[in-house]
Amino acid sequence: MSNRRKIAKRSTVLCCVLLTIFAAAVVARSQTRYPGPAAREGNRSMDEYDRTLNRMKNDAKAASERRRNLFPQINEDFQRIQVIHNEMVRMLQPDKGLNYNRLMDLTGDMKKRGARLRENLSLPEPEKTDTQPAHNAAIDEAHLKKTIVDLHDVVVTFVANPIFKNLGVVDAKVVAAATKDLDNIIDLSDEIKKEAKTLGKSTKN
């Protein structure tokens, strides 16, 4: 075989190889540039997740900044709840009876302070339900004292929450615990007030 034929043959082979490489590169580029439906949907989901995460971070930062700005009022309500709690606990002494009118005043104030704390701490509102919890137990002084003890337990847990050591805290578990305790404080305060009002009327009859 002459040198010319050898060179022509090699050139043909080289061209075929280059065309194959070029075609593979074009296919790869087209696949990268135009992802399939599944890939596009995955990218949209990741983008939405990133936006949601950034929005949650910004909301948490705004909430912590609001707490710091409202510190004087937050601290006033926080301290007042403890003062009310202490006075109510002293009523549970065996040699003392319950002062229903005073209980109504104290629990009304505690409920008001709790609601304002929830707002100032930027805690979520509880979910509203149409059905009210049923109270099967008879309303008497023993039951009322038990409810006061329940309130005492919640207040003790609430005031120990780390959110009051650092108002800038954004830990979801800490915020959730504070929200749950504060909701219980508001609900139990309202329950005690209603029971004290009922018992107060019965003693007058």
Longest dimension (CA), the chain: 130
199: how many CB neighbours lie within 10 A of its CB? 17
Mean pLDDT, to the nearest integer, of 25-33?
49
- Helices 100-120 and 71-90: crossing angle, nearest 10°? 150
Region for residue 122 given its phi and psi (left: phi exceeds 0; alpha: psi -120 to 50; beta: otherwise): left
- Contact status, residue 154 vs residue 178, Cβ threshold 8 Å: no
Asked if residue 195 lies in contact with residue 144, where contact means CB atoms within 8 angstroms, the answer is yes
Q: Can you give the pLDDT at residue 80?
A: 97
pLDDT surpassing 70 at residue 46? no
Q: Is the pLDDT of residue 32 over 50?
A: no
Least confident of 31-35, 49-53, 76-80, 107-111: 31-35
Sorting pLDDT into bands at 50, 70 and 90, what band is 157? very high
- Are the CB atoms for 188 and 151 separated by under 8 Å? yes
Give the span between the Cα atoms of 81 and 152, in whole angstroms.
11
SS3 category, 160: coil
Instruction: Give 60-73 pLDDT, tens digit per residue.
Output: 566 667 667 788 89
pLDDT average, residue stretch 8-26: 51
Q: Give the sign of the dihedral formed by CA 198, CA 199, CA 200, CA 205.
A: positive
Rounded CA separation 174/152 (Å)? 20
The predicted pLDDT at position 48 comes to 64
**Average pLDDT for the chain:** 78
- The per-residue pLDDT for 17 is 47
Q: Which residue has the higher pLDDT, 29 or 119?
A: 119
Higher pLDDT, residue 29 or 110? 110
* Domain definitions of the chain by residue range: 71-204
Q: What was the pLDDT predicted at 52?
A: 56
- Overall average pLDDT of the 140-153 stretch: 95
- At 203 the pLDDT is 73
